[in-house]
Structure 1
Amino acid sequence: MSGDMARSLFDLSGQVAIVTGASRGIGRAIAERMAQHGAKVVVSSRKLDACQEVVDAIASRGGEAFAQACNIGRKEELQALVDAAMARWGRIDTVVGNAAINPHLGPSIGLPDEIFDKIMASNIRSNLWLANMVMPGMAERGGGSVIIISSIGGLRGSPVLGAYGISKAADMQLARNLAVEWGPRNIRSNCIAPGLVRTDFARALWENPDIYRKRTKDTPLKRIGEPDEIAGAAVFLASAAGSFMTGQTIVIDGGVMAGSPSVGDE
């Protein structure tokens, strides 16, 4: 068997991956699964102690990781995150822009300007900053993968998640633009758009019995997702298995975007 065939398509051995918002939920699942597949992982979020818990969990299973606190809204902290990864391991092969905010739940007409600006800065600009910090080095080493965690909120309107949805739609366009700009240097850029997943971030949605009942009724798989069900797509996009995919958005939503299995629109 040739060397290429001997390795799994999903083998991340030798890679270094940065994951933002990695202390819990989808980010943690991605960090743990990437480490399981052989990547060295930089676990990042605002709280260092929470990141260290993830690092310890990865280490207990034989993986390699370190924790770096970072507020994605601060450019200097993102640069420090990149610098720390380079100082420790000398390369960055994959970045996962998972950290995001949603401080407003309600109609857009009641959205203060400063909150709108904060959502756009944290959910879009921070991903652009991080990508721009790592892509030149990726290009020098022959390629890399940028993965942005978007949402199906970026594909449909919402009476209560308007600005968040706008930011997540923009993330999809950011991934397309980066794909076009950096594809000739073998850097791939893609989005993952989860549906409702059981995370602390989405707790206001899945803990509300009325919302939960309606969402599961309208979902072909009749349930919400779990963080680990998003992580496999990130491993795919970082690995040889995803080496010809760029500029795309992978929707993982239990079938919500395909349509409701309910009869009629009751």
Structure 2
Amino acid sequence: MEKRFLNKIALITGSTEGIGFSIAQRLGREGAKVVICSRKQEKVTKAVEQLKVENLDCLGVVCHVGIEDDRRNLIEKTIEKYGGIDILVCNVAVNPHHGNIFEIDERQWDKIFDINVKSTFLLIKQAIPFLKQRKDSNVLIISSIAGYYPSQIIAPYSISKTPLIGMTKAMGPACAELGIRVNCIAPGVIKTKFSKAFWYDEPIYNDCFMKRVGYSDEVAATAAFLCSNDASYITGETIICAGGANARL
């Protein structure tokens, strides 16, 4: 495998399983030193062990991205271990509500937006001073096809994914002035535990041209491209990785 990330440090949130883990694994296989995190120590420990089986250089940190001190600790531990941050991937997301949009309660609504939107912005803001010190640094935000094409099953989650597309575009000019690229991926239905309701029983393809679910390593391959110098003239963009599913704002 091509080593596009030698001497690069990549910090990936929500990265002990699913899409986040696959991104960490792919960047690590291409030479990056990777920092993974999750709210639960047992998940962090298991993911680190999996990466080390492949002799990948990695660090695991327990972090609740919705807590400022945890975000600060995550960045500090990364700097302490590796001396910088070249790539920040904001993948973490929650979805505590399924069903009718009007049945969600305020606590669930706040949790969705605090984690999926607010913490993404604040972590990027906290990481900017370190990213701007590096050459060819970049930020990658993971949104969702649901941000374009809301699902009635997970409508509040879908709503929370649309601002990430706008955030990417809005951050583009300010990041460019600092020498930082910022891009976004909107995955379709990916076969992970997080999206099990969409593929386990009767697959929901949302008009996907390819009529199949996607896989985490397919999103990871897209992430590796956007985080590499192969995408050196791409910023402020959202790449839809959804098998041709309809996407329009």
Q: Partner residue of 1:220?
A: 209
Shift of 1:143: 4.5
Q: Deviations over 1:36-93 (max 9, x none)?
A: 0000000111122222222222222221001101111111111110000000011001
Runs of 4+ in 1 over 6 A off after TM superposition: none
Whether the 8 Å CA contact 1:142–1:185 is kept in 2: the answer is: no
Q: Deviations over 1:114-164 (max 9, x none)?
A: 211111110011111110111122113344111111000000233222211
Q: Partner residue of 1:129?
A: 122
**Counterparts of 1:75 and 1:163 in 2: how far apart (Å)?**
24
Unaligned 5+ residue runs, structure 1? 1-7, 260-266
**Counterparts of 1:49 and 1:258 in 2: how far apart (Å)?**
37
Opposite residue 241 of structure 1, the aligned amino acid is D
Opposite residue 72 of structure 1, the aligned amino acid is V
Q: Deviations over 1:141-189 (max 9, x none)?
A: 3441111110000002332222111110001111112212111111111
Q: Partner residue of 1:231?
A: 220
Q: Partner residue of 2:231?
A: 242
Whether the 8 Å CA contact 2:85–2:134 is kept in 1: the answer is: no
- Report the count of equivalent residues: 248
2:38 to 36, 45, 54: 45
Pairing 1:153–2:146 present:
yes
Q: Partner residue of 2:172?
A: 179
Shift of 1:258: 6.9
2:159 to 143, 157, 166: 166
Whether the 8 Å CA contact 2:15–2:91 is kept in 1: the answer is: yes
Relative distance call for 1:103 and 1:258 in structure 2 (3 A) is closer
TM-score (norm 1): 0.88
TM-score (norm 2): 0.94
User: 1:250 aligns to what SS in structure 2?
Assistant: strand
**Counterparts of 2:200 and 2:16 in 1: how far apart (Å)?**
21
**Counterparts of 2:131 and 2:211 in 1: how far apart (Å)?**
41
User: 1:66 aligns to what SS in structure 2?
Assistant: strand
Shift of 1:102: 0.7
RMSD: 1.8
Unaligned 5+ residue runs, structure 2? none
Opposite residue 254 of structure 1, the aligned amino acid is G
**Counterparts of 1:143 and 1:126 in 2: how far apart (Å)?**
24
Give runs of aligned pairs for residues 105-120 of structure 1, distance below 5 A.
Answer: 105-120=98-113
User: 1:215 aligns to what SS in structure 2?
Assistant: coil
User: 1:124 aligns to what SS in structure 2?
Assistant: helix
**Counterparts of 1:205 and 1:75 in 2: how far apart (Å)?**
33
**Counterparts of 1:24 and 1:138 in 2: how far apart (Å)?**
25
Q: Deviations over 1:186-206 (max 9, x none)?
A: 111111000001101111221
If you compute each CA radius of gyration, which structure gives the higher value, 1 or 2?
A: 1
Whether the 8 Å CA contact 1:135–1:144 is kept in 2: the answer is: no
**Counterparts of 1:55 and 1:239 in 2: how far apart (Å)?**
23
Relative distance call for 1:130 and 1:256 in structure 2 (3 A) is same
Opposite residue 38 of structure 1, the aligned amino acid is G
Q: Partner residue of 1:263?
A: none
Q: Partner residue of 1:4?
A: none
**Counterparts of 1:170 and 1:219 in 2: how far apart (Å)?**
23
Whether the 8 Å CA contact 2:145–2:247 is kept in 1: the answer is: no
**Counterparts of 2:18 and 2:150 in 1: how far apart (Å)?**
24
Pairing 1:251–2:240 present:
yes
Shift of 1:256: 1.4
Relative distance call for 1:181 and 1:207 in structure 2 (3 A) is same
Q: Deviations over 1:208-235 (max 9, x none)?
A: 32xx1x528x422121011111001111
